[in-house]
Amino acid sequence: MPSSSTPTERQRRLGAELRKMRVAAEATTAYAAGLLGVDRTKVSNMEVGVRPVAPARVRTLACNYSCADDAYVKALAEMAEQRERGWWEQYRGTLPSGLLDIAELEWHATRLRTAQTVHLPGLLHTDAYARAVFGAVLPALSRLEVELRVAHRMERQQVLDRESPVPYIGYVHEAALRMQFGGRQVTQTQLRHLCVASERDHIDIRVVPISRGAFPGAGHALLYAHGVVPQLDTLQLDSAHGPEFMHADGQLTKYRAHLDWMERASLSSVESRDFIHAIASQL
């Protein structure tokens, strides 16, 4: 299989899980190379996602690493399978790879939870609101770059519209509801769109009122993508330098607690919808 100098986040994650299994088994790269009949450099490349690994080799490694979690091994083997190119690949070379990695992460998730304090949830943006968000980026993006990002963001919404949509929970701080990206009319339309979306069975929008006071975290937007098995959960944080992906146990535990706090602090689904309608009417 050909190597890739720029692996996707999903490829890097598979490699990281293979390394985690090897380290847990106290096995060396030389031992793994002997099992597969390759040199140690290729094993190292597999573990950083640069070199693809076949599903059969995933199972061979897992067996010899004495990994008895069948569901976990099956999930890793499925990650290793050669699949059709995702829709996001059409943007490769024209958009930052991190944006494509987010789309791929969402596509393969079994459940999505997000927390927003400034912007409204990206998967529920109108094109006008998304255009206003990307138009506020510094340094300023060209018109073409803005439109590419808007088109990509609209296509990401497929994950909520496909035949088997991903269950989605969005925790939104009141401050984000009152930020007028694009002006009064654009924001009003966006808020009403959010209310309509929240009436769908698989979409739940929960508002955290300003009256709740202090909240945990530094205000970063975060996405928690549940994997096929808990070991493959992934956290994505927004930053000024692009998306950051995390999956260490301590990090996942920390941000699950963060989302659990927002769950407790938020209004019910019905109360949240009424709250959003009220703000939209005030604009």
The correct CATH number of 87-282 out of 3.30.870, 3.40.190, 3.40.630, 3.40.50 is 3.30.870
pLDDT digits (tens, 9 = 90+) for 203-250: 999 999 999 998 887 678 999 999 999 999 999 999 878 899 999 999
pLDDT digits (tens, 9 = 90+) for 131-151: 999 999 999 999 999 999 999
Does residue 94 carry a pLDDT above 70?
Answer: yes
DSSP assignment of 217-276 equals: SSS--EEEEE-SSGGG-EEEE--TTS-EEE--HHHHHHHHHHHHHHHHHSPPHHHHHHHH
Which DSSP category does 215 fall into?
Answer: -
Q: Are 15 and 49 in contact (CB under 8 A)?
A: yes
Domain boundaries, the chain: 9-80, 87-282
User: What average pLDDT score do residues 167-196 get?
Assistant: 97
Assigned token pair, 126 = 């109108």
- Long-range contacts for 182-185 (Cβ within 8 Å, ≥24 apart)? 182/128, 182/129, 182/131, 182/132, 183/132, 184/283
Amino acid identity of 201? D
Q: Any idea which residue has 């956290």 for tokens? A: 235
CATH number of 9-80: 1.10.260.40
3-state secondary structure of 67: coil
Element (H, E) at 214: none
The whole-angstrom separation of Cα 224 and Cα 150 is 22
- Within 8 A by CB and 6+ apart from 263, the residues are 171, 206
Does residue 2 carry a pLDDT above 70?
Answer: no
Does residue 1 carry a pLDDT above 60?
Answer: no
pLDDT digits (tens, 9 = 90+) for 254-277: 999 999 999 999 999 999 999 999
User: What average pLDDT score do residues 121-127 get?
Assistant: 97
DSSP assignment of 115-180 equals: EESSSPPGGG--HHHHHHHHHT-SSPPPHHHHHHHHHHHHHHTHHHHSSSPPPEEEEEEHHHHH--
Beta bridge partners of 95: 92
